[in-house]
Amino acid sequence: MSRLRAFLVHLSLSATVVGCVFAVIFFLWYPRPYFEVVGAWYLVRLLFIVNVILGPLLTLIIFNAGKPGLKFDLTVIALIQVAALAYGTTVIYQDRPYYLVFSVDRFEVVVKQDVDVTQIKYDALKEKPWIGTVKVFARLPDDPAALSKFTEEVVFEGKPDLERRPEFWHPYADYARDAPAQAVRLEVLLRDDEDVAARASRIIEKHQDDHARLGYVPLLGRTSNFAIVLDMDTGEQLEVLDIDPYQLIIDRQARTFSARKNPLEIVPLEQQFPAGVPAVFLYTF
């Protein structure tokens, strides 16, 4: 076998294996937009470089038919590739989005390792679907004493906040109607720049027959923020909108500032935004 043919065989085998692994990652473990939200590109790039580029490239360099110890060299290369693939795949699997938690006025993606699963009270929250996440509604305790205790634990004892406290979790469907309380009306985006307005318009046209009122709530991620579109009446999660709600606030503030005749004038937040943006959303930002 020639050196080039050995390289091509190694490349095709590596690409096939990595392609199958990537299919599982992108379609089962990290369906859109969770890959961008969690920010797993680093490990995926490393897997690709080691298994699809470096492995076959080393074969191209060292392969020489009849060379003593060739089988040993190829075996070492293969073992390094397998080890790198196993390690990277394990880390990506453990870090996959597991829970989509609504907390106060936003959604957050939570991985299984970040929470004490023994505190989960509902069986419906213990089984993850093959594709997607477990949908959770994190609800503050109604009892004033319990609420005060929770606040002290978070502020003074450094315990996790609401979205990572399974003892306060409920199935999202049980409290879905409460989620839109702090949502922003989707029509507000029609007054933003052309790109944002066009995305909002497409979603409104897509859902207007079945959902009369639409809103959006931030989806916080490690590296990127998105927005989840909700039915304002039922709280049903319809789809993910590729915008950063917090960046939109910054952009609006910048436009408001640049349009002032007196740049030093203080304008209340409520006057900087069109109707439909809840005050809590503004001030919590």
Each residue's pLDDT tens digit, 143-190: 999 999 999 999 999 899 999 999 999 999 999 999 999 899 998 888
Query: Which pLDDT belongs to residue 130?
Result: 86
DSSP conformation class of 165: -
**Same structural domain, 53 and 89:** yes
**Same structural domain, 86 and 105:** no
Least confident residue range of 74-88, 202-216, 257-271: 257-271
Whether 86 has a pLDDT exceeding 60, the answer reads yes
Tell me the per-residue pLDDT of 95-118, one tens digit each, with 9 for 90 and over. 888 999 999 999 999 988 889 999
**Same structural domain, 187 and 272:** yes
**Same structural domain, 152 and 200:** no
- Give me 107's structure tokens: 């959604």
Q: Mean of the pLDDT values across residues 187-195? A: 85
DSSP 228-282: EEEETTT--EEEEE---HHHHHHHHHHHHHHH-SSTT----HHHHS-TTS-HHHH
Q: Say which residues have a Cβ less than 8 Å from residue 113's Cβ, sequence separation at least 6.
A: 94, 95
User: What confidence category does residue 271 fall into, taking pLDDT thresholds of 50, 70 and 90?
Assistant: low
R_g of the chain, CA atoms, integer Å: 25
User: What confidence category does residue 192 fall into, taking pLDDT thresholds of 50, 70 and 90?
Assistant: confident
Instruction: Compute the distance between CA of residue 100 and CA of residue 236 in angstroms, rounded to an integer.
Output: 13
The residue among 94, 111, 140 that closes a domain is 94
The residue among 65, 94, 123 that closes a domain is 94
**Same structural domain, 221 and 257:** yes
Residue type, 58: L
**Same structural domain, 187 and 265:** yes
280 lies in which domain range?
179-284
**Same structural domain, 74 and 89:** yes
- Give me 247's structure tokens: 């960046």
Q: Say which residues have a Cβ less than 8 Å from residue 239's Cβ, sequence separation at least 6.
A: 203, 228, 229
Q: How many domains does the chain have?
A: 3
The residue among 94, 111, 132 that closes a domain is 94
Tell me the per-residue pLDDT of 2-32, one tens digit each, with 9 for 90 and over. 888 888 999 999 999 999 999 999 888 888 8
**Same structural domain, 118 and 85:** no
SS3 64: coil
Higher pLDDT, residue 42 or 60: 60
Listed residue (209, 208, 226) closest to 217, CA to CA: 226
Query: Which pLDDT belongs to residue 270?
Result: 53
**Same structural domain, 205 and 227:** yes
**Same structural domain, 156 and 220:** no
Sequence-ordered alpha helix ranges (H) in the chain:
3-24, 34-38, 41-48, 55-62, 70-94, 144-155, 194-207, 245-259, 269-272, 279-284
Check: CB of residue 229 under 8 Å from CB of residue 239: yes
Residue type, 215: G
Instruction: Compute the distance between CA of residue 21 and CA of residue 26 in angstroms, rounded to an integer.
Output: 9
Q: Mean of the pLDDT values across residues 29-50? A: 83
Q: How long a stretch of residues is the chain? A: 285
Q: Say which residues have a Cβ less than 8 Å from residue 161's Cβ, sequence separation at least 6.
A: 103, 154
Instruction: Compute the distance between CA of residue 47 and CA of residue 244 in angstroms, rounded to an integer.
Output: 29
Query: Which pLDDT belongs to residue 283?
Result: 47
**Same structural domain, 165 and 204:** no
Whether 92 has a pLDDT exceeding 70, the answer reads yes
